[in-house]
Homo-oligomer: A and B are copies of this chain.
Amino acid sequence: MAVYTEVSDEALAAFLADYDIGSMVAFRGIAEGVENSNFSLRTTGGDFILTLYEKRVIPAELPWFLGLMEHLAGRGIVCPQPVRGRDGQALRQLAGRHAAITTFLPGVWPRRVRPEHCGPVGAALAALHLAGEGYAATRANALGPQGWAPLLNRSVGGCDRVQPGLSIELPAALGKILAAWPADLPVGHIHADLFPDNVFFLDGRLSGLIDFYFAATDILAYDIAVCLNAWCFEQDLAFNVTKARAMLGAYETIRPLSPAERAALPVLCQGAALRFALTRLYDWINTPADALVTRKDPLEYVRRLRFHLAARDAHAYGI
């Protein structure tokens, strides 16, 4: 569930008084999302999302995320827009948390990915990468390659309980990936978590992107690798090259890949699969088996990792 902090009506009314968005009409917790508390907020001025930032978010980084969203929206990307209060501030405190109101985006995220979703996602990702240019501040990717060894170390002792052999397989894969990690690819601001639940569609068209709280400054093509992992495998974990081709083809209509970026796709995809395998593995090992929360299976990403380790070159991805 995605409401970790409750907000009293008085606190909420006082909070809203700092904005010029009218008076409250409705306020409901949103079930989606796992990191922060999100509420759907309707006022006489319209629809908004209220986010309370929970423990994982580093408060000092919030202005960077909000600034990126404003920058992107100013350059045509449909994404939540921070709403500033009467004092000009978008970020304030509510119920003991840092909090911000952002605009509401219409649309529905695709519960089941079809090939026709993948082209629009590729195009939107390329547009995001271009629109990010000019946002001068940078944010290191805490869950990028430098973060993987520490993350693995926190789970390696327990990972053979998830599947025997992982304590050998994952360190070997990590070593191979880090040794081959590209150094000179174009860098920019990436979303880094553009999974289906962060992409809205409306009437068959992509209508917006949400949840920029993993965004960072990193290799642009790594963001494509995240999306190939997130969108192009079937339920049985077979890779759907039709989806990949649609995604990459649409991406390249907006931002063509260099030969070096294409050549790096396998290792970038390996790294992306490893990154999600490692965070899921950590959560898996540290969440009680009988807890009522759904743990996401890390093996789904170990299997993706194996697919990418077997990929010889970008042809594996349909290009």
Q: Give the total of A residues in contact with B, Cβ under 8 Å.
A: 39
Answer whether residue A1 sits at the interface, using C-beta atoms and an 8 A cutoff. yes
With both chains docked as a complex, state the minimum distance between the C-beta of A130 and any C-beta of chain B, in angstroms.
Answer: 27
For A278-305 the 0/1 string (1 means CB < 8 A from B) is 0000000001101111000000000000
Tell yes or no: A203 within 8 A of B by CB.
Answer: yes
Closest beta carbon of chain B to A288's beta carbon, Å:
5
Does A9 touch B at the CB level, under 8 Å?
yes
A24 located at the interface, meaning its Cβ lies under 8 Å from any Cβ of chain B in the complex:
yes
What is the bound-complex CA distance between A41 and B215, given in angstroms?
29
A90 at the interface (CB under 8 A from B): no
Q: Is A92 an interface residue (CB 8 A)?
A: no
Please, which residue of chain B has its CB at the minimum distance from the CB of A201? B9
A107 in contact (CB, < 8 A): yes
Cβ contacts under 8 Å, A112 to chain B: 8-10
The docked-state distance in angstroms from the alpha carbon of A206 to that of B173 is: 60
| Chain B residues within an 8 Å CB radius of A15 | none
A15-34 vs B, CB cutoff 8 Å, 1 = contact: the mask equals 00000000111111111100
User: Is A180 on the interface with B (CB-CB < 8 A)?
Assistant: no
In the docked arrangement, what's the CA distance between A190 and B10, Å? 30
Query: B30, A106: Cβ atoms under 8 Å?
Result: no
Query: Which of B27, B29, B107, B203 interacts with A26 by CB under 8 Å?
Result: B107
CB 8 Å contact bits of A94-117 with B (1 = contact, 0 = none):
000000000011111011100000
Min CB–CB distance A269 → chain B (angstroms):
26
Distance of A273 from chain B, by nearest CB (Å) = 23
A106 in complex: contacting residue of B7, B25, B31, CB < 8 Å: B25
18 A-B interface contacts by CB (under 8 A): A3-B32, A6-B111, A8-B111, A9-B110, A25-B106, A26-B104, A26-B105, A26-B108, A26-B200, A27-B108, A28-B32, A28-B40, A29-B31, A42-B106, A288-B288, A288-B292, A291-B293, A292-B292
The list of the 4 closest CB pairs from A to B, nearest first, reads A1-B1, A29-B31, A3-B31, A27-B108
Inter-chain CA distance A112–B10, complex, in Å, is 8
Q: How far is the CA of A61 from the CA of B43 in the complex (A)?
A: 36
- Complex-state Cα separation, A291 to B24, whole angstroms: 34
